[in-house]
Structure 1
Amino acid sequence: MKIVGLITEYNPFHNGHLYHIEEAKRVTGADTVVVVMSGDYVQRGTPAVMPKRLRTEMALKCGAGAVFELPVCYASGSAEFFAMGAVSLLDHLGAVDSICFGSESNDLEALQEIAGILLEEPDGYQELLKEALRSGQSYPSARQKALAGCTGNDALASLLDDPNNILGIEYLKALRKLNSSMVPYTILRQGAHYHDKTLSGQYSSASAIRSLLAYSSSSLRADRSGGTFEDMPFSSVLGELEEQVPACCLELLRDYHKVQYPVYQNDFSLILKYKLLNKQPEDLTRYMDVSEELANRICSQLNNFFNYKQFCDLLKTREITHSRVNRALLHIMLGIKEKDVQEYIENGRHFYARLLGFRKDRSKLLSLFSEQSSIPVLTRLSESSSISALGQQMLRNDILASNLYTSVVTDKFKTAFQNEYKQAVIKI
């Protein structure tokens, strides 16, 4: 069986993701698709708009053979951390032949060239990077300027303007670092720009769909004189989404609206405020992505905390990007510490592969992974006793993060809480 691996968030699942699944199978000749997906928190450092199991069900109904959860310390990391965590998990599974990612450039050769330079960091590149950083540029800007100077090719460096190109480059770097046998493929990202907040044709961005679900960005805005989005019928929202998401996903969106989603940063405001109240700067720097400068800024601005999102906006500076602030605060809230993650990395990065769901017509995948995976495949948490002590620690952190998310969901929508230990693998 030929298997292609996809690295995803599905926040939420839309037509572009369906295209990715189908096109990945076509260009690689794969028989089935295996997905590594962020759990309840995503790479931009925020909670996912809906729970991981709802997103898993969408993926399986749209053709994914199996979905594995990316541990939260990697799922909420920088592009480099996210990519290495996801690629290494696919590599550990042992039976994945290739990976396929979407990119704005669809130019694998150019992305490979950039990946090589960023990985090897030749002297000329390093000098230009240091010079740009000393001038006060943010790391992403400094890196792009150094790449342009090093290669003499502004067009090549401009590929770093686009988020999917950046992630693709990080996937390619990870494959090289791991000396993985998985073959990379890229396909052209369809439709709207990653950050586009308005619906556009058949392939709108996940950002636009999230905005619509929040009643904050919709063509209906122009049609509603006076009324608020809160009193807008949800059927109207679903009507706008008919061309944006597969029919099976639309059905799930209808069934679980205000039962399991939407979930946003501000739903976690009180939890974050509690976590910050008794912290000093030296306490905060223990957490992933929290620099001394950011720790001091958090403590000095704490009296101006009104809600989670507003506090992120307040902390952002020219040197500290909004995404960095998001990730830092999320890591503080979830207790993800630098030394713990470093220990995970030094010991192989992964200690288990947690299965979220699979298609019954692809159940042979489970036998295949059980035979070829270099780490245990967890289908239930009661099977975790064979995992090392360090792996148990990582798993406890993942469980805590999920239980926290579920607590927020159940409190917001007044539904019954179900502990992560009692959640079953989804079978379609």
Structure 2
Amino acid sequence: MKATGIVVEYNPLHNGHVYHAQQAKKVTGSDIIIAVMSGNFLQRGEPAFVDKWTRTKMALATGVDLLFELPYRYATGHAPVFAEGAIRLLDAAGCTAFCFGSEEGDIGVFKQSLKNIDSSRDTYEFTVKQAIQEGTSYPKALNKAYETIRERGLGGADLSKPNNILGFHYMQAAMTIGSDIMPSTIQRLGADYHKDSLELGEIASATGIRKSYFSTSSLKEVMDFVPATTGELLDEWQEAGLKFGNWESFYPYLRFIILREGPEKLAHIADITEGIENLIYKAAKDHSSYQPFMETVKSKRYTWTRIQRMLTHILTGFTYNMRDSMHTPSYLRLLGMTNEGRAYLNEKKKSLHLPLISKAASFSDPSLDMDIHASSIYALATGQMTGLDYTTSPIIGNHFSSNSFK
């Protein structure tokens, strides 16, 4: 069986995601789709709207056949780290291709971008270093360096666009690790990744769906933009009295930790640099809600997303030492599968490049321990029971109980 890989967050899964999975399978001529999905904390430093098990159910009902968890260390990393972890897992799972959505929709321009940087690497790296020293954020420094090369008329992708950026890093990661996995891309349809409003007749962004809910506390407006299964699962989550994940509801827990730990301990948390722990501590003392806290901490040097990653690590207690103990992914954590996915595993199980983990208690690894710990923190803030990683088996197909949250 031939498998194509995709990298997802499904926060939550919407109609555009269904299109992506369907087209990925079609354009690569694959038998199944394998997805690598972030757990309960995401790449932009945010808690997931609903937990990983619920998003697994959404995925299996709408086009994904096998779902593996991207470990916390990669799921909450900046784009190059996120991409490397995901591609390593897809490669280990035996995918012959991977497919990403992009604003470009043309794999050729991404290949050209890689050639451009490779042929002008010294200029590129010097420009990145100089921009960071001037106080430019890392993502903007990368784009500035890339545009310096692109202005020479060499062509390539527009790396100011969020999906293009991730797609570029997926391809760069595959090249770096020496994988034979073949890249492909499809045109992203509908609303821009960052668009935060809903308009009938278009495919909404996950950002717009979440904002709609948090501004109204109602799921009614989002139902036209998500598959039926996603809608049913969101309804079940709400009816069970669980909180949808966002920083406003998580902030009281975060603030408590910041004030308890103090600047000296915060300095050991991953991504905390240059004394920003003092500003974070003072802002937490001064502000009882999340938005004014963030407006106090944000600066030209630190993007909103970068600060949110710091806060995620503070919330979960993820230190530099812990991150240093986690190297390349060392296992494939199975979250769910369809019957076709099960058949693929039966066929390929002996040739997988990493151990397959279906029971958390059966494997010991610092990354897995961190995923379980992060899930417990997430459960505390959303009102779930803790320990779900030990009590939840991989989801099979879309056969699940309507009482799954109670």
Q: Say whether the fold is shared (TM-score over 0.5).
A: yes
Following superposition, the deviation at residue 158 of structure 1 comes to: 7.3
**Residues 134, 281 of structure 1: CA spacing in aligned structure 2 closer, same or farther, 3 A cutoff?**
same
Cα distance between partner residues in 1 of 2:277 and 2:128: 25
How many residues align structurally? 395
Please name the residue that 1:423 is paired with.
Answer: 392
> How many Å separate the matches in 2 of 1:299 and 1:252?
37
Structure 1 residues 121 and 174: CA distance shift in structure 2, 3 A = farther
Change (3 A) 1:123 1:59: same
| Structure 1 position 141 matched with structure 2 position 140 | yes
Unaligned runs of 5+ in 1: 217-228
Higher mean alpha-carbon deviation, 66-75 vs 309-318, is at 309-318
Question: Counterparts of 1:135 and 1:328 in 2: how far apart (Å)?
Answer: 21
Structure 1, 138-147 or 114-123: larger mean CA deviation: 114-123
* Cα pair distance change 1:121/1:268, threshold 3 Å: farther
SS in 2 for 1:36: strand
Cα drift, residue 119 of structure 1? 6.4
Deviation at 1:67, TM superposition (A): 0.8
Aligned to 2:90: 90
What residue in structure 2 maps to residue 316 of structure 1? 298
User: Are 2:347 and 1:372 equivalent residues in the alignment?
Assistant: no
Matched, 1:253 2:234: yes
The letter of the residue matching 1:26 is: K
> Residues 254 and 315 of structure 2 are in contact (CA less than 8 Å); yes or no, is this contact kept in structure 1?
yes
CA distance in 1: counterparts of 2:99 and 2:157, whole angstroms:
22
Name the structure 2 match of 1:408.
381
**Structure 1 residue corresponding to 2:281, chosen from 282, 299, 302:** 299
In structure 1, the partner of 2:331 is: 352
Corresponding residue SS for 1:43 = coil
Q: What's the secondary structure of 2:271's corresponding residue?
A: coil
Structure 1 residue 265, shift from structure 2 partner? 1.2
The 8 Å contact of residues 379 and 385 in structure 2, kept in 1 or not, is answered as no
Aligned partners of 2:113 and 2:157 also within 8 Å: no
Q: TM-score, with normalisation over the residues of structure 2? A: 0.91
Shift of residue 145, structure 1, vs aligned partner: 2.3
Matched, 1:267 2:249: yes
Letter in 2 for 1:324: R
- Determine whether 1:335 maps to 2:294: no
Q: How far, CA to CA, are the matches of 1:288 and 1:120 in structure 2?
A: 33
- Asked whether 1:163 is paired with 2:165, we answer no
| Pair 1:59-2:59 in alignment | yes
TM-score in terms of structure 1 length: 0.86
Q: 1:369 to 1:286 in 2, by over 3 A?
A: farther
Task: Return the alpha-carbon distance in structure 2 between the equivalents of residues 275 and 33 of structure 1.
Answer: 40
Give the corresponding residue for 2:224.
243
> Per-residue CA shift, 1:121-159, capped at 9, x if unaligned?
622223333343344333322322222223424895771
What secondary structure does 2:159 align onto?
helix
The answer to which of 334-343 and 190-199 deviates more is: 334-343
User: SS at 1:398's partner residue?
Assistant: helix
Distance verdict in 2 for CA 1:170–1:210, change over 3 Å: same
Q: Output the amino acid matched with 2:24.
A: A
Contact kept in structure 2, 1:103 and 1:186, CA below 8 Å: yes
| Shift in CA distance, 361/89, structure 1 to aligned 2, threshold 3 Å | closer
TM-fit CA distance, 1:46: 0.7
The structural deviation recorded for 1:77 is 1.0
Deviation at 1:266, TM superposition (A): 2.1
Deviation at 1:342, TM superposition (A): 2.9
Instruction: Supply the distance in 1 between the matched residues of 2:287 and 2:184 (Cα, whole angstroms).
Output: 44
| CA distance, structure 2, for counterparts of residue 280 and residue 126 of structure 1 | 36
Sequence identity percentage: 34
Structure 1 counterpart of 2:357, one-letter code: L
- In structure 2, the residue matched to 1:16 is 16
Q: Distance in 1 between matches of 2:81 and 2:263?
A: 24
Would you say the 8 A contact 1:352–1:375 is kept in 2? yes
Structure 1 residues 257 and 193, CA gap change in structure 2 (3 angstroms): same
Distance in 1 between residues matched to 2:70 and 2:122, nearest whole Å: 34
Residue in 2 aligned with 1:26? Answer: 26
> Are residue 122 (structure 1) and residue 91 (structure 2) matched?
no
Residues 177-326 of structure 1 aligned to structure 2 (within 5 Å): 177-200=176-199, 201-214=201-214, 216=215, 229-230=216-217, 234=218, 237-238=219-220, 240-259=221-240, 260-326=242-308
Runs (4 or more) in structure 1 with deviation over 6 Å come to none
- Is the CA contact 1:15–1:202 (under 8 Å) kept in the aligned structure 2? no
Give the Cα–Cα distance (whole angstroms) in 1 for the partners of residues 263 and 124 of structure 2.
33
Give SS of 1:301's match.
helix
Structure 1's 340 and 242: CA in aligned 2 closer, same or farther, altered over 3 A?
closer
What letter is aligned with 1:284? L
Q: Is the CA contact 2:15–2:203 (under 8 Å) kept in the aligned structure 1?
A: yes
Give the residue type in structure 1 aligned to 2:104. Answer: S
Point out where structure 2 has 5 or more consecutive residues left out of the alignment: 398-406
Encode CA deviations 1:166-188: one digit per residue, 9 max, x unaligned: 00011011001110011000110
Cα-to-partner distance string for 1:195-216 (whole Å, 9 max, x where unaligned)? 00111323110001111121x2
Q: For the Cα contact (< 8 Å) 1:45–1:326, is it kept in 2?
A: yes
Distance 2:252 2:119 in 1: 44
Corresponding position of 2:48 = 48
Supply the AA of the counterpart residue of 2:342.
S
1:99 paired residue number: 98
Cα distance in 2 for residues equivalent to 1:194 and 1:119: 28
Residue 99 of structure 2 contacts residue 183 of structure 2 at CA under 8 Å; is this kept in 1? yes
Q: CA RMSD in A?
A: 2.2
Counterpart-to-counterpart distance in 2, 1:183 and 1:158: 18
Secondary structure (helix, strand or coil) at the match of 1:161 reads coil
* Contact 1:46–1:326, Cα closer than 8 Å, also in 2: yes
Deviations 1:297-341, CA, capped at 9 Å, x for gaps: 223433213134442332110111000000011011112222332
